[in-house]
Structure 1
């Protein structure tokens, strides 16, 4: 009996071991399978957003998003953030084309104003992050080898940042820490100053706002967390250093405030309006701290997670609305959701955070949806070939370019040139490259004329009035001359072009025409007088 019990207990122990091993072995696979399904569902939502964007640009479902219609808006806020997010998700697109357009924009501006003093600081910060996310060299960008990172952060003065506002301080820190860089010792703006400046801005309730003391704002608080996140994570190993402890306390208080103001449906509001963008900023903040918004208890209200709230804004067309209940999809809303989901997918895959643009550490899982698997097309400011071959269709497009180009062909010419410059079969199409370079020069001159006309319009005439035209006759004559030199499409690129057209029809009339009109009126007057005299004579006779 005793032996049977021993054998039975051994058998149960053996089966127990088998069950445990089975659970450990296959449980991991089941867990990973669920994670893979979850990631796949997020990627599908991201693809739906891009499909909506293609539709809004009247592109085909299979078209590369980075086509001319999209590239024409390169350098603008929403478009750049889209491009940044696409780069960080690793979604394959024509990154080189986008970088070519940004290079042209920034090079033109740099040659006129090397310090970019007419640019908003936050514009430069966004452009720097976008260039980096698409594989460009932020330390030496383009043929002019522009130090974009420096102009966006450590080459600035504290006054320049303060003039732009607290937002610029936040993004200076995010941008500076996005790349491997050694900040010069002479820099007026460094990590320490930026951190101290952010800490000073915090309200007593843990929130942040653009103006200290004002009611806390969800978006600003979330962005402040994103800026401090790298240092918050370091604080755990900082051996009680005061600065890191301050950062840890600051982030914890900000998180507590965000949790307190989270709505019952899991979402957030800003300026008394519940909106998807605010929820996305909170998701970005949590991802920057390696926290999973889908499981965070502090960010689940009535069983509703932050992810639930964000997905409730998606419409049937794949896009996202700004406000809940609206069936109208919004470009900015879609862009911010795509960005937030890109951050979440990177977190799930164990990748670096969204704004950590350093190379991935060795040994991490690879995924086709990841930038690091796409070779950089820039190195030390120069193009590197990426197995590109010019197609017959592209050659046909070059041949079909109009002889007299306008600024409408600007993006198309830039992209075609970029493709030729990095093509393996470049030598076979030298004559086409020459043709494109000639057209690029012509377009550049047109754009310079438009730019000058707009500068004059804004400085002297806008909004246009007779008094201003009379006061600045010389400048008005210059604007009119530029206007007359341009084609119909380019004329419409000038501010208040309709007014110039109207004024031209009067003040621009040639002398002979005015003389002819005056002579005609004079003759008409004589005829009227003669007829009246004739009628009077007839009446007198009768």
Structure 2
């Protein structure tokens, strides 16, 4: 090759290299712009969005106040929601101006303020967020006005929703003679759910995204506190939102795609402890709620109501409180409307709820507390009178990490106790200390059970060990490693929201035999952590619990020596497990199949002696809660069962169920 050709080729290669670098740079820039336009945001980007939005809000409010003549008072609806958003973002500068303006408004317009309970609630929320006192504000007790309001449903379900949110925001005490107690407000809200799982303003027709999300915001504290009636309603409402979410991650309300519906959903899910960035129910085609919300961001820093519109005040203030809710969730702080997280969520006053362990039917012992946390405490008191060196601690409102932990309770001879995600209830802490526990095994990472919970235990001199993975599949794997190998493994559906009864049915048997509980999903392949556990633990036999709708038949081709136990309903599956795997029970524990918490704490005890865990439809069935198959199963074990315990109050396992049990098992007395 001559010199000229070499020089020409060299120049060509240099040009090609430069062109490649330039092209890659252009592609990267285009991708970055596309990502920005689509709303893909890391935390620093979210903080930047909030900074610009705060600037827009403060500028808007300043202009509004300047336009008003000196003798005029600005309507509180203009600044109440921005006050809440800024305060919950801990940006308190200047909020005293809004509080003072609000107070003047109340003093001059008190009679008109009383026309709507939502006005009272909104002002109370703004005052409380800005560290004011709604019980003594402008010469009025706003909280008393809310719980004594004449017509709470004059604005449809919005009245009960925001009355309850306002009352719970500060954990305010209510007198016995209050016209609207928390129980009454909850009863109204729970009764208005529609057939599709959603809610509407007037309780008719089809569900509305915004109203449904606001209902979830009001019910979230009670859901996370383990109230059984609330759980079923909220689960359906959350499922409704997931179902109607658009393919681009957003929502339509009244036929229009808008930002406010996304905002209300973000607030609701954050209040529930649901991570909107990772929960697959709310990620559509890789589109998240946050990603969709940021599409509505305007160039001036505010937000638009619809994509084709201009900056809108309502859209901007709703975006502000939604982003405040999101940031607080990410930072493991209390939810948007929870201003005093140190106060416990009040328990429902249930008509027939048992508050202690006294039997409500002779010979059958009911173990119950005011909520699932108290019930778990009562179970521990009843079954560990000599104390326990180790306690298993799991989250009481989400079963994912808790269900595989039951076998650990047998291994460590430990009670399984429950806690909300963000704070350890005092009665649970006291019981852990009363047991003389030296160590607590926490199931799940800090996203499941916060550092505040583990910190409270550590400060008390109790050793804390977390057992966790990146998700509930991986956490089950970590639990299995800690448990050790028995050569067998239980496989249950990873859809823990709907399939937890299958895991509960097998949990006592698995605990007694030291068999790990692993998750699979509705596909022909095993999740990687489950596959690892089977290989590393040398599993030779697997037990599939549940039908082919939740555990596909293809799994039987890849699992070692699989055997399936299932029935047409969850109660039939429960009966199949008990009859085929535990033919000689001496103890029976009865719990609702409508929630996992009571049965979970009981299963940890049942696993000590291979006792039965019988799941019933309980009070929700309107009858005795037992299927024909369950009654037949119990009759076959009449001469074997010597002790019968019912877990939870009459609201979850009815007295009718106890009467039926007494008739079938006359010898089954504790």
Under a length normalisation based on structure 2, what TM-score does the superposition of the two structures give? Answer: 0.43
Q: Deviations over 1:14-40 (max 9, x none)?
A: xxxxxxxxxxxxxxxxxxxxxxx9433
Aligned to 2:220: 229
CA distance in 1, matches of 2:271, 2:305: 23
Shift of 1:95: 2.0
Aligned to 1:102: 102
Q: Deviations over 1:67-109 (max 9, x none)?
A: 7569977443242111111111111322222111111111233
Report 1:518-529 matches (<5 A): none
> Residue 148 of structure 2 is aligned with which of 136, 145, 155?
155
Return closer, same or farther for 1:56/1:178 CA change in 2, 3 Å cut-off.
Answer: closer
Aligned to 1:199: 190
CA distance in 2, matches of 1:162, 1:310: 31
Tell me whether 1:132 sits opposite 2:163 in the alignment: no
CA distance in 2, matches of 1:39, 1:222: 24
Return closer, same or farther for 1:133/1:56 CA change in 2, 3 Å cut-off.
Answer: closer
Q: Deviations over 1:205-253 (max 9, x none)?
A: 1010012221110000000000000000011xxxxxxxx2221010000
Report 1:246-285 matches (<5 A): 246-285=229-268
Aligned to 1:45: 49
Tell me whether 1:350 sits opposite 2:343 in the alignment: no
Shift of 1:325: 3.4
Give yes or no for contact 1:180–1:358 (8 Å, CA) kept in 2. yes
Return closer, same or farther for 1:250/1:80 CA change in 2, 3 Å cut-off.
Answer: same
> Residue 115 of structure 2 is aligned with which of 115, 119, 134?
119
Which fold has the larger relative contact order, with Cα–Cα distance below 8 Å and residues 6 or more apart in sequence? 1
CA distance in 1, matches of 2:258, 2:95: 31
Aligned to 1:208: 199
Shift of 1:55: 4.8
Q: Deviations over 1:467-502 (max 9, x none)?
A: xxxxxxxxxxxxxxxxxxxxxxxxxxxxxxxxxxxx
CA distance in 2, matches of 1:210, 1:363: 33
Aligned to 2:398: none
Shift of 1:188: 1.6
Shift of 1:139: 1.1
> Could you say what secondary structure the match of 1:162 adopts?
coil
Give yes or no for contact 1:352–1:360 (8 Å, CA) kept in 2. no
Shift of 1:150: 1.4
Give yes or no for contact 2:196–2:206 (8 Å, CA) kept in 1. no
Shift of 1:187: 0.8
Structure with the bigger percentage of strand: 2
> Residue 182 of structure 1 is aligned with which of 173, 180, 187?
173
Q: What stretches of structure 1 of length at least 5 have no aligned partner?
A: 1-36, 60-65, 236-243, 365-542
CA distance in 2, matches of 1:300, 1:99: 39
Return closer, same or farther for 1:46/1:74 CA change in 2, 3 Å cut-off.
Answer: farther
> Could you say what secondary structure the match of 2:99 adopts?
helix
Give yes or no for contact 1:88–1:342 (8 Å, CA) kept in 2. yes
Structure number with greater Rg is 1
Aligned to 1:14: none
> Could you say what secondary structure the match of 1:43 adopts?
helix
Give yes or no for contact 2:210–2:264 (8 Å, CA) kept in 1. yes
Shift of 1:58: 7.3
CA distance in 2, matches of 1:190, 1:363: 25
Report 1:475-514 matches (<5 A): none
> Residue 161 of structure 2 is aligned with which of 170, 185, 205?
170
Shift of 1:118: 4.6
Under a length normalisation based on structure 1, what TM-score does the superposition of the two structures give? Answer: 0.53
Return closer, same or farther for 1:212/1:149 CA change in 2, 3 Å cut-off.
Answer: same
Shift of 1:360: 6.1
Aligned to 1:485: none
Give yes or no for contact 1:74–1:80 (8 Å, CA) kept in 2. no
CA distance in 2, matches of 1:83, 1:73: 16
Give yes or no for contact 2:250–2:289 (8 Å, CA) kept in 1. yes
> Could you say what secondary structure the match of 2:216 adopts?
helix
CA distance in 2, matches of 1:363, 1:162: 33
Shift of 1:195: 0.7
Report 1:335-346 matches (<5 A): 335-346=317-328
Give yes or no for contact 1:154–1:189 (8 Å, CA) kept in 2. yes
CA distance in 1, matches of 2:113, 2:258: 34
